[in-house]
Structure 1
């Protein structure tokens, strides 16, 4: 059996009071790397192994861009050519993607469905909320 993983951006939060107090660019706003509705599909088979490429080229559906998002010096790590990438987000969700690509339960006993996990990136002033789903494919 082959396993794929679909990652969907469910939401983006913003805590402007924390940005004002702690960030070098106090009006940074929401994350510019991802849009609500973005969908990424990860494969791991003989032809393709997206995990080891940290998700490069996995964007299959783009969500709606936010208005007024400030591109600050801290966002230069975001992807180019329509392929968003953020090392902080990858650090937060990659373990769940890896487990699911191996056919494992993503978060046994915590979620209603062992094939689903809700996680967020590490940015405490503007976190992005991800839904991570294991999809089982019969060969």
Structure 2
């Protein structure tokens, strides 16, 4: 099993939905910032959002265990092997992540 690099690509805000459904002064994710980098295998990294982890862990787990040697999902998704672009499930302020398989072996 290898370590997966998780990079925060974007923190977004669906302004129309936030205006209609969010609390006053609703902003982008308060926990994660663009450019943040985390490393994981099967366990949530320290400081990583619990809800975001629940949304992306299956991709992290798959990459850590060798998926992505080729291209994900029948070659019709991401053009670079060993990479996945995923997001958390916050409908008002989704955070978009880049997951990259590394050559770093995981330690138990």
The counterpart of 1:101, out of the listed 64, 69, 80, is 64
Aligned ranges for residues 88-127 of structure 1 at < 5 Å?
88-105=51-68, 107-108=72-73, 109=75, 110-127=77-94
Structure 1 length as normaliser, TM-score?
0.65
Q: Distance in 2 between matches of 1:131 and 1:4?
A: 14
Residue by residue over 1:16-64, the C-alpha shift from the partner in whole angstroms, topping out at 9 and shown as x without a partner, is 22112112x1421110010000001125xxxxxxx23x222xxxxxxxx
User: With CA pairs under 8 Å and 6+ residues apart, which has the higher RCO, 1 or 2?
Assistant: 2
Instruction: Tell me the secondary structure at the aligned position of residue 72 of structure 2.
Output: coil
Q: Which residue of 1 aligns with 2:31?
A: 33
Structure 1 alignment gaps of length 5 or more: 44-50, 57-82
Root mean square deviation, CA, Å = 1.9
Structure 2 length as normaliser, TM-score?
0.82
Q: Distance in 2 between matches of 1:18 and 1:26?
A: 12
Instruction: Tell me the secondary structure at the aligned position of residue 133 of structure 1.
Output: strand
Q: Distance in 2 between matches of 1:39 and 1:93?
A: 14
Structure 2 alignment gaps of length 5 or more: none
Larger of the two Rg values belongs to structure: 1
Q: Distance in 2 between matches of 1:26 and 1:91?
A: 27
